[in-house]
Structure 1
Amino acid sequence: MPEILLRHDSDDIATLTLNRPDARNALSIGLMEALDAELGSIAEDQSVKVVIIAGNGPAFCAGHDLRELRATPTRAAYEAVFALCSRLMQRIVGLPKPVIAQVHGVATAAGCQLVASADLAVAAETARFATPGVDIGLFCSTPMVALSRSVGRKAAMEMLLTGELISAARAAELGLINRVVDGAEVSAATRALAGRIAAKSPLTVAIGKQAFYRQAEMDLASAYDYASGVMTRNMLARDAAEGIDAFLAKRQPRWTGT
């Protein structure tokens, strides 16, 4: 049996490739467990500074594996699947390294959720996005959590209520993805973006990613109080001193990650 998740590390970047092309990279239990485990390993891997999630075959990810879901139609089975999916998406958000979705094809339902959960997303101009659960009587409730935190409420509701595919250009307008590129350039463009981030202090990036998501859930005053404390702790780090000294001396910084 072929591996359902592939990993390739190069230049401080780990690329995780969903490898169920015949199933349009549907998120089976096995694939979600493999992705969750690999991200857990990467969290402790100091050689990795940025993660790219990509897909093999014509689609990026078609969402949950519906055949697998219907094979065990019990409350316990459904609860376990959606709890696993929720844990995976939170793993992405909580990972101390940026995660970039490299979307070359269709991303629907939980596949769209995967894109929305990533910190950044680069898509081919031919990519399409949708939360079409409503069309089969299964509202995309868990994808809704990530989607509604990436795009405006009305845009999210339109996607959720109509189930219609939107273009990569429209997804960029809504803030679901960052960049739209020619299909032949999506891998190179994603790696270029990852490389620019990997050149930064890994400590500073980790601090910033965690702070971004935490302050977003706070009221304005609490967010400023929290962010002020974060900046104070950040200023006391060696990498902050090194970065400022390097800037003043007009030289390249030498990051230590401390």
Structure 2
Amino acid sequence: MSAQEKAEETNRDIVTVTIADRIATITLDDPATRNSLSRNMMARLQKILDEIKTSKEVHVVIIEGKGPVFCSGHNLKEIAAEDREAAMLALFEQCSTLMQSVVHLPQPVIAKVDGVATAAGAQLVASCDLAFATESSKFATPGVNFGLFCSTPMVAISRNVSPKHAMEMLLSGEFIDAAQAARTGLINAAVSAEELTERVMHFATRIAGKSPLTVRIGKTAFYQQLPMSLADAYAFTSRVMTENMQTHDAREGIDAFMAKRDPEWQGK
């Protein structure tokens, strides 16, 4: 690689965003590090999510990875080079903030996986609201193999799959295929490579056509009620539905349904 080519590679944006038909597609594009979650990658992703959060133009987000690896997790070279405890903690806190930003984003986020997702890469998949993968895709939390247990990825994964399946991944460090990931709940479905884009866009388009206010209310309430007791969850969601019913879009949706016409959402 020439000096000019190296400079171009260094300055190239490792995360790109395209917006069309109310759908934002975020592409991880750092093949040299297998789309690792380096500090730079996480900072760029965080900035993009912060911008999308307040966007009225974006109703749905898709996250994909360019190349054979969706995301390889933390950049091990960065971790190995860091010997200060405070800086190491800041690195993992940066990642934790990023994952929570995905969960708390008002817009639904869909992981589109065609390749390998390991460690914090699998954590990113688990943090998304929906996830679809090609049948050849693989997932793993291999930290235990390197003496660094995948404790932070464990948080997202254990909130998607059963404890025993989560521990199987965490303790063995072995890959699971997309079919098993679907069976255990890490992803929604394993599909053929030819079908992946169609399946993801089917859901993205359907969701983008709903009231953005209603979707935002529902997604927020979903994650808020998860840790509650059964009684508290019902009390909380009863209040949420009551408040939802006071919105223009709820009344418009019911009126449109009864009149057998398409609703005209105003997002209020």
Q: TM-score, normalised to structure 1's length?
A: 0.99
* Correspondences of 1:1-258 after superposition (within 5 Å): 1-258=11-268
Partner Cα separation in structure 1 for residue 63 and residue 83 of structure 2 = 30
Partner Cα separation in structure 2 for residue 106 and residue 32 of structure 1 = 18
* 2:206 maps to amino acid: R
Partner Cα separation in structure 2 for residue 185 and residue 38 of structure 1 = 27
1:92-137 CA deviation, whole Å, 9 max, x = no partner? 0010000000000000000000000000001011110111100000
Partner Cα separation in structure 2 for residue 200 and residue 206 of structure 1 = 10
Partner Cα separation in structure 1 for residue 133 and residue 206 of structure 2 = 18
1:52-110 CA deviation, whole Å, 9 max, x = no partner? 00001110001100001112221012111100000000000010000000000000000
* 2:238 maps to amino acid: S
Partner Cα separation in structure 2 for residue 138 and residue 163 of structure 1 = 11
RMSD: 0.7
1:134-182 CA deviation, whole Å, 9 max, x = no partner? 0000000000000000001111011100011001010000011012111
Partner Cα separation in structure 2 for residue 187 and residue 239 of structure 1 = 30
Runs of 5+ unmatched residues, structure 1: none
1:204-252 CA deviation, whole Å, 9 max, x = no partner? 0000000000100100000000000000000010000000000000111
SS in 2 for 1:60: strand
SS in 2 for 1:194: helix
Runs of 5+ unmatched residues, structure 2: 1-10
SS in 1 for 2:19: strand
After the TM superposition, which segments of 4 or more aligned residues of structure 1 sit over 2 Å from their partners?
none
Question: Is 1:22–1:57's contact at 8 Å kept on the other side of the alignment?
Answer: no
SS in 1 for 2:68: coil
Q: What percentage of residue pairs aligned between the two structures are identical?
A: 57
Partner Cα separation in structure 1 for residue 146 and residue 30 of structure 2 = 22
Q: How many residues align?
A: 258
